[in-house]
Amino acid sequence: MSRIGKMPIVIPAGVQISIADDNVITVKGKLGTLTQKVDPNVMLKVEDNHLTLKRANEEQDIRSKHGLYRSLLANMVKGVSEGFTITQELVGVGYKATVVNNVLELALGYSHAIFFEMPAEVTVTTAAERGKNPTITLTSFDKQLLGQVAAKIRSMRKPEPYKGKGIRFMGEVVKKKAGKSASDK
């Protein structure tokens, strides 16, 4: 039995869950609405503020989907009730980030500024304190979309291994390589 799949999902107050006939689940909360199609071999049941998932049989494919769908649905419930946040920092001289009308403008050492339009579900804020690296904070109720946006922003200037310059997630440790050393004569 899947340890993750058999755990019930607690439904907080203010979150409504509806299950359609074709196994499409809709989760609605104060922050937004999310939908997910679930494999027909995984049965869903809502009873007294708990969502449980059961599988039809013990085939390998269905067993693997049991835990997957439980994690996806738990993230949907948490997203519409609390939301998710990702913080990134810009490490490098002259690296800047500003936001105007949900469009992120990045100065990353290229000859031009980079403009990145955010999806409607993602909110972005920037902060630049003196003596600290500029930060970008992304918030959304959709964890998957938030991760994709954060990965796209990071891909614009990945941290390089010699000086560590680039866009990194807050708290990420970049292993540094030793540079060229002078030849010994």
Mean pLDDT of 59-75: 91
Q: Residues near 41 by Cβ (< 8 Å), separated by ≥ 6? A: 55, 56, 57, 59, 62, 65
- Domain boundary pick from 81, 114, 137: 81
What is the DSSP secondary structure assignment for residue 157, as one 8-state letter?
S
* Per-chain mean pLDDT for the chain: 91
**Domains contained in the chain, number:** 2
Closest CA to 160 of 182, 172, 145, 175: 175
CATH number of the domain residue 119 falls in? 3.90.930.12
Q: Which residue range(s) make up the domain with 28?
A: 9-81
What is the percent of the chain with per-residue pLDDT over 90, rounded to a whole number?
Answer: 73
Is 59 inside a domain boundary? Answer: yes
Q: Which amino acid is at 78?
A: K
Cβ-contact 97, 90 below 8 angstroms:
yes
Does a structural domain hold residue 136? yes
65 lies in some domain? yes
pLDDT in tens, 121-156: 999 999 999 989 999 999 999 999 999 999 999 999
Residues 44-58 pLDDT 10s: 999 889 999 999 888
DSSP 96-155: EEEEETTEEEEE-SSSS-EEEEPPTT-EEEEE--TTS--EEEEEES-HHHHHHHHHHHHH
Residue positions counted in the chain: 185
